[in-house]
Amino acid sequence: MLSLNNIEVIYEDVILVLKGMSLQVPDGQIVALLGANGAGKSTTLKAISGLLKPENGEVTDGSIEFQGEPIHTMPAEDVVRRGIFQVMEGRRVFEHLTVEENLIAGGYTRADRNNLKRDIEMVYTYFPRLKERMKQAAGYLSGGEQQMLAIGRALMAKPKLVMLDEPSLGLAPLLVQEIFDIIKRINEEQNTTILLVEQNALLALDIAHYAYIMENGRIVMDGEPDNLRENADVREFYLGLTEVGQRKSYRDVKHYKRRKRWLS
C-alpha cells in the first residue's frame, strides 16, 4: 500500500537525516518502526505526510508511493485527502477548542460532511471517556485523554493509513496498554492500516504484524515480531533482556558490553 524507496531527507540544505531509507507497509497491517532517539523515525513519518516543508526539510532522493502514486512532492493537504493521516508526536490537540470541535477539525477534508455526527459517535464508542468531556476545552484533558482525542481526530478523516508517532509518550503504563489495545481494535474493525512509531518496543512488537528497526537514518533490521524478539541484538538493546531471556540486573553488568553487530 505504502512504499518508501531509498529516500533521502535533508534539513536546511545541509543536515542529512534519512540516508537511503526503504520500507513497505502492506494493506490492512500494523507495521512498527522502532529505533532510538534521533534515528529518524519522526522524519520518516513527516516525509510521508508532507509535513517536512514547514520545517525546512526536503526529500532529495528516492520516492514515496502510496497505492502506486508518488506522493513525496505533494503538499500535506493533498496527502491527507489521499487517505494518509499522521497523529503527531506529543498529541498536539487544539487546546482551546472543545473535544467535539477537535474531532470536527479532524474531519475537515471529508467530502461527506453530513456523516460527521455519526462518526463522532463512532469515535466515542472507542473512547467513551471523550464523550463525557465533549464540551470541554481539550487543553484541560489529561495526557491519556489527549492521546485518545488525537487518535479519534485521525479516525474522523476516515483514513486508509494512520501513522502514529509515539502514542505512549508520557503516559502511565496502564493507559499505554489501553491505547495499544484500541489501536489493535481499530486496525481490525475499521480495517485501517497502521504505521506505528514507538520507543516502547515490547508493546509495539506485541500488536505489530511486521517491524522495522531504524538507526542513523536507515533500516538496519526488519522481520516478523517473533523473529525480532529472538534476535540477540534486539533483546539486548530494545527489550532490555539478557541472552538468557531474563531481565537485566545491574549486578551482572561487568566489563563486557555487547556491541551492535549490524553496524560494522
Partner 1 sequence: MDQFLQLTLSGLTNGAVLALAALGFVLIYKASDVLNFAQGEFLLVGAYVMFALVGELGWHWSIGIVVTVLIAVALGVVLERAVLRPMIGEPIISLIMVTIGLSSLLRAIVSTIWGTDERAFPSFIPSEPIKVLGATVTTDKLWAIGIAAVFLVVFNLFFRRSSEGIAMRAVADDQQAALSMGISVKKIFAMAWSISAATAAIGGIIVANILGVSGNISGLGLQVFPVVILGGLDSIPGAVIGGIIIGLLQAYTGGYVGFGLNSIIPFVVLVLILMVKPYGLFGQEIIERV
Q: Which of 1, 18, 30, 51 is in the footprint of partner 1 by CB under 8 A?
A: 51
Main-chain dihedrals φ then ψ at residue 174, nearest 5 degrees: -60, -45
Q: Is 52 in the site for partner 1 (CB under 8 A)?
A: no
* Nearer to partner 1 (CB atom), residue 142 or residue 191: 142
235: its cell numbers:
533483546
Shortest separation between residue 231's beta carbon and partner 1, angstroms: 33
Amino acid at 43: T
The string of DSSP codes covering 89-109 is: TT----TTSBHHHHHHHHTTT
Q: Which of 97, 134, 169, 175 is in the footprint of partner 1 by CB under 8 A?
A: 97
- 12 contacts: CB under 8 Å, gap ≥ 6: 56, 57
Q: Is 89 in the site for partner 1 (CB under 8 A)?
A: no
Q: Which of 3, 5, 24, 94 is in the footprint of partner 1 by CB under 8 A?
A: 94
Shortest separation between residue 244's beta carbon and partner 1, angstroms: 43
β-partners of residue 19 are 8
Q: Is 137 in the site for partner 1 (CB under 8 A)?
A: yes
72: its cell numbers:
513525496
Bridge-based pairing state of the strands 2-11 and 57-66: antiparallel
Q: Which of 4, 23, 33, 80 is in the footprint of partner 1 by CB under 8 A?
A: 80
Query: Whats the size of the chain, residue-wise?
Result: 264
106: its cell numbers:
479532524
Rounded Cα distance between 52 and 85, Å, is 14
54: its cell numbers:
514547514
Q: Count residues contacting partner 1 (CB under 8 A)?
A: 37
> Site map for partner 1, 203-242, x if CB under 8 A?
----------------------------------------
**Contact set with partner 1 (CB under 8 A):** 49, 51, 54, 75-77, 79-81, 85-86, 88, 92-97, 101-102, 104-109, 113, 116, 137, 139-143, 153-154, 157
